[in-house]
Amino acid sequence: MAVRTFSAVLHQEDDLWVAECPEVGTFSQGTTIEEALANLKEATELYLEEFPIPETKAPLLTTFEASYAEA
């Protein structure tokens, strides 16, 4: 069994935490950050069982700033 590290992006919507894995495109949610991450891990593992991804170089993860007018 292969092990690979993925990214998780989390944001809060009302009383839930939403978690996304941008490399695979999976989403999940939970009432806590820990629960959202655990659910995302499970969703990603189930997805990868059906749609395995080829071994490639690790993706580049960076940040950027964007300007916008405040309301």
Which top CATH class is 1-71? alpha beta
pLDDT classification of 55: cutoffs 50, 70, 90: confident
Confidence (pTM): 0.82
Q: Is 12 helix (H, G, I), strand (E, B) or coil?
A: strand
What is each CA distance from 12 to 18, 30, 31, 67, in whole angstroms? 6, 10, 9, 22
Q: Is 7 helix (H, G, I), strand (E, B) or coil?
A: coil
> How confident is the model over 22-42, as pLDDT tens digits?
989 999 999 999 999 999 999
Query: For 51, which DSSP code?
Result: S
* Whether pLDDT at 6 is above 80: yes
Q: Which pLDDT score is estimated for 54?
A: 79
Q: Which pLDDT score is estimated for 3?
A: 87
Q: Which pLDDT score is estimated for 7?
A: 92
Question: What integer is the mean pLDDT of 4-27?
Answer: 95
User: CA 26 to CA 51: how far, in whole Å?
Assistant: 12
